[in-house]
Amino acid sequence: MADNSSFKTDRGAGGETHQHVPKSADHQTAEHLTTNQGIRVSDNQNQLKSGPRGPVLLEDFVLREKIFHFDHERIPERIVHARGSAAHGFFELYESLSDITKADLFQRAGEKTPLFTRFSTVAGGAGSVDTPRDVRGFAVKFYTQEGNWDLVGNNIPVFFIQDAIKFPDLVHSVKMEADRGFPQAASAHDTFWDFISLMPESTHMIMWAMSDRTIPRSLRTIEGFGVHTFRLVNAKGVSTFVKFHWKPKQGLQSTIWDEAVKIAGADPDFHRRDLFEAITSGDFPEWELGIQAFDQAFADSLPFDVLDPTKFIPEELLPVRPIGRMVLDRWPDNFFAETEQVAYCPANIVPGVDFTNDPLLQGRLFSYLDTQHSRLGTSNFHQIPINAPKCPVMNFQRDGHMQMTQPKGRANYEPNSLSDQGEIGGPRECPVTGFETFPSADDASEQGDKLRIRPESFADHYSQARLFFRSLDAPEQAHLASALVFELSKVEIAAIRTRMLGNLVNVDPDLAKRVADGLNMPLPKASPTAAPVLDMDLSPALRIISGPLDLDTLKGRKVGVLIADGSDAAEVTAVTTAVAKAGGKAMIIAPRIGGAKLSDGTLLPADGQLAGTPSVMVDAIAVVLSEDGCAMLLKEAAAVQFVMDAFGHLKAIGHSAAAKPLLDKAGVEPDEGVTDLGADFIAAGGKRFWDREPGVRTLA
């Protein structure tokens, strides 16, 4: 057995050597590895052993602390909304809202309030992909001068259920099936549709969930909603009902289902990467915060109950008033410390904002706080920096796991008289500036006997579902019907499909027939309804396609520029310059990541390798090839698929004359979206060409 005592170096597990660095004056002031207690570590490569090959000693506190912390690096993930991305930013108020609220952040025009916003999917775990068909959470934590206000909503203004007692059932049904553990992050399975088909109140939300809203192109191009009806209360104690809306300045944009599926395979982190790249490049995402403010008389005039979370107020009935903007301008320094540990709770409100008796909201006020205790392991989770208010915090809450504050004085109770004796008495309540709950209901019907019952005003489950579907543009209607066919085709139990079709008849008979035909099933009679189904005025504001936020622009979007050896340098420069001038980002894609040698002999590095960067990663493509380069790529399946998918996903395609054989092989047919590399391509680059769709896929 060799004697290792003469070795001058220690060896790591991989055979690497770690030289002992002699101590010096400079060494004492350099950054030094320490334990969590601040004790400097002399050797981070080897355990403390009894002899070179002997047993490890229990006294090795460096090892024990390091492994202990590693073993506990993962905390329980969120039950829902586990897959999320977030960023820091600010809210800037346009004009004072002192007439309707005393909330401090709404008093002074131009004032900026720091915030932290997290976007998320709902059904999948933390390790799922970014682009499944799913609702997106949209949660904003405002760090106001009066404490934290959490506006915790979704990218859809309504929800699946009317009462919070059904939330565990909803989530259990959409999560992985209990006996088999799949599917992950997908609603296309029996248990979800069994639940939905038995819960007519979910029908409206299903219209949104099956629409293009749940397959967004980017987190930067989604709307946000507070979902519930809240109250704003002014300094005189006058209450105003309010609905909160976030409108993306980048416009609304979705993907096509085939595109979303392929993005998931090409880049599971597609939305997170897009948000990161936009912020770090200075192209800061921005939303306007708007409100629908109304009184009890307006609420009473509506054919639905504003406390029903499965209903929304069409913008044509009550326009959204812009009151400020949110800009996300800083990526988190550490994903775990901030994005993963941030704890939102709808119960976190400030003076001037208050709740209503929405039964889903009332349940959320309890559920979120309880969840944070479970996830973060302590009642002191509010002391974690990302959750900590930026205003003073003073109370008599003490101790508990991971208590970070050090209160002074004997008093840990209130009232106390110690301040009268010259000691620290601690904080006191203040009736003048403290939060006051709005004192009474405006409507006497909100009071009465203790009952487990739904109000009659919640009974209409189909009118707004009909309103939503019929308001959509024709391609969106086809996408929604096709999504229903896809999802229900995954349902094994025929009775569930039949029951769901009966519900859809109440929404729109034509929609139900399209779905039934897609399933090759007979169309059943309409399901019984608890209230008459109304034909409400349509709401064009609900559209993504041809709607008010359908922006035909390249700003904030990517153009994939496909090149190969011999590509014309002047053409490449012209198209990339034009894209940048239009506010977009040109992404150079080549057969090899090292790039391609252009016609002038220069080597242009690539941003993406062709085989690993399909056209689903960009919003439009420019194919800039020489004759030789085109001939080479005609033999490359990835190049043919690159162009084929861009055409099939209805994107703009600009091309050099020499690239036409590649377009021909990919099945590209001339239309308004297939152009040369000039101004027509830049004008087309931000659009989808919906007239092309009937020729490239079959829809319900």
- Catalytic residue set: 81, 154
Q: How many CB atoms lie within 10 A of CB 41?
A: 12
Q: Which tokens go with 588?
A: 């150079």
Peptide bond into 415 cis (omega under 30): yes
Q: Is 155 helix (H, G, I), strand (E, B) or coil?
A: coil
Rg (CA), the chain: 29
Residue with tokens 């709770």: 345
Q: DSSP of 515-551, one letter per residue?
A: HHHHHT----PPPP-SSPPP-PPP-GGG-STTSTT--
SS3 label, residue 369: helix
CA–CA distances in Å: residue 262 to residues 123, 267, 343, 637: 19, 9, 32, 16
657 three-class SS: helix
Tokens for 602?
């220069």
Q: How far apart are CA 463 and CA 479, in angstroms?
A: 21
423 vs 417: CA distance, rounded Å? 9
657 neighbors 623 (Cβ within 8 angstroms): no
| Contact residues for 257 (Cβ-Cβ < 8 A; gap 6+) | 133, 215, 479, 482, 483, 486
- DSSP letter assigned to residue 688: B
Task: Please provide the distance, in angstroms rounded to a whole number, between the alpha carbons at the two ends of the chain.
Answer: 76
Find out whether 185 and 128 touch, Cβ atoms under 8 Å.
yes
* C-beta of residue 287 within 8 angstroms of C-beta of residue 219: no
Q: What span, in angstroms and rounded, lies between the C-alpha atoms of 691 and 674?
A: 13
Strand-strand pairing, 286-294 and 239-248: antiparallel
Phi, psi (deg, nearest 5) at residue 314: -55, 140
d(CA 99, CA 466): 36
Q: How many distinct helices (H) and strands (E) make up the chain?
A: 18, 20
Nearest-angstrom CA–CA distance, 401 and 374: 12
651 three-state secondary structure:
strand
Whole-angstrom distance, CA of residue 333 vs CA of residue 17: 32
Name which of 625, 682, 626 is nearest 653 in CA terms.
682
Distance CA 677, CA 624 (A): 8
Buried b (16+ CB within 10 A) or exposed e, 618-635: bbbbbbbbbeebbebbee
At 105, phi and psi to the nearest 5? -70, -10
Decide: 308 and 361 in contact? Cβ < 8 Å: no
